[in-house]
Amino acid sequence: MTIIEEMARKIRIDIIQMLAAAKSGHPGGSLSAADILAVLYFKEMRVDPENPHWPDRDRFVLSKGHAAPVLYAALAERGFFPTEELLQLRKTGHFLQGHPDMKKVPGVDMSTGSLGQGISAAAGMALAGKIDHKDFRVFTLLGDGEIAEGLVWEAAMAAAHYKLDNLVAILDYNGLQIDGRNEDVMNSAPVADKWRAFGWNVIEVDGHDLEQLMNAFELTKNLRGKPSIIIAKTIKGKGVSFMENQAGWHGNAPSPEQADSALRELKGGKDHE
């Protein structure tokens, strides 16, 4: 098992443990993005946990802010704050809120939660980097239900207009949102064609294949004159069999018994629902 594979597994374990402790939160879309965050924080991004506000760091914006558990787990495993803090998720008096807060959580570059605004902020960061002649890159993770927001497409249009080749969006394309299948709630297909029409470089990958993800990020480094989006086909609830492809696990925390079952599965045990 590679370091990144192990980190993706640890992130998933952290997600289950913290949501079970909080008794609330969003497991489905956090688990689907674990491999993406593992590649970003343990391979791709230039960050310094000892200096979270380093001016030359790469930036990450969790546009789908409700998936905060996957970001918190990645930050903790990367060393931005102790992993013990994860068990204080959503607890009064602690800094890990239900959505990321840039004023309280080390390593969080933008407070998010209102869908569509994250990619807009990321585009602004990327434009600022261009104006300041900085070489940092900006990464933002979108949900596939989120792209029904008009604000997303305003940001997409602006990013292409300003030729923000230092901006990389990743779409967590798991096909489900809180109310059911995307195609039933608000059909956004054909997704890749839409982003191409808006002037973006589009790369489609299996969002759970670490090699494909790493290669995709590598391809974005040499592209000039346009932003990139990696459309990552994922499985909502990935890694926990009874949560996989179930819209009902979008925003429901596991019971203690369900958490035990999920953790046995993630840790390699045979006993799971």
pLDDT tens readout for residues 79-115: 999 999 999 999 999 999 999 999 999 999 999 999 9
**Long-range contacts made by residues 179-185, C-beta under 8 angstroms, separation at least 24?**
179/247, 180/247, 181/247, 182/144, 182/145, 182/148, 185/145, 185/148
- Per residue in 31-59, pLDDT (tens digit) is 999 999 999 999 999 999 999 999 999 99
- Give the residue carrying structure tokens 């079970």: 20
User: What is the sign of the dihedral through the CA atoms of 223, 227, 231 and 236?
Assistant: positive
In degrees rounded to 5, what are phi and psi of residue 132?
A: -85, 5
User: What structural domains does the chain harbor?
Assistant: 3-266 (3.40.50.970)
Residue 71 scores a pLDDT above 90 = yes
Reduced to 3 states (helix: H, G, I; strand: E, B; else coil), residue 1 is coil
Residue 199 scores a pLDDT above 60 = yes
- Give the residue carrying structure tokens 């890159």: 137
In this prediction, residue 180 has a pLDDT band, given cuts at 50, 70 and 90, of: confident
**Mean pLDDT throughout 131-140?**
98
Note whether 169 and 119 are within 8 A (CB). Answer: yes
Distance CA 117, CA 130 (A): 20
Across 37-46, 123-132, 178-187, 258-267, least confident range:
178-187
In this prediction, residue 269 has a pLDDT band, given cuts at 50, 70 and 90, of: low
**Mean pLDDT throughout 163-172?**
98
Per-residue confidence (pLDDT) for residue 273, from 0 to 100: 39
Reduced to 3 states (helix: H, G, I; strand: E, B; else coil), residue 90 is coil
Residue 270 scores a pLDDT above 60 = no
- Per residue in 211-230, pLDDT (tens digit) is 999 999 999 998 999 999 99
Element (H, E) at 233: strand 228-233
Number of H-type helices and E-type strands within the chain: 10, 7
Q: What is the DSSP letter of 49?
A: T
Please state whether the predicted TM-score (pTM) of the whole model is above 0.85. yes
**Mean pLDDT throughout 226-239?**
98
Residue 136 scores a pLDDT above 70 = yes
Supply 91's token pair: 């607890």
Q: What is the DSSP letter of 88?
A: G
Distance CA 141, CA 122 (A): 10
Percent pLDDT > 70 in the chain is: 98
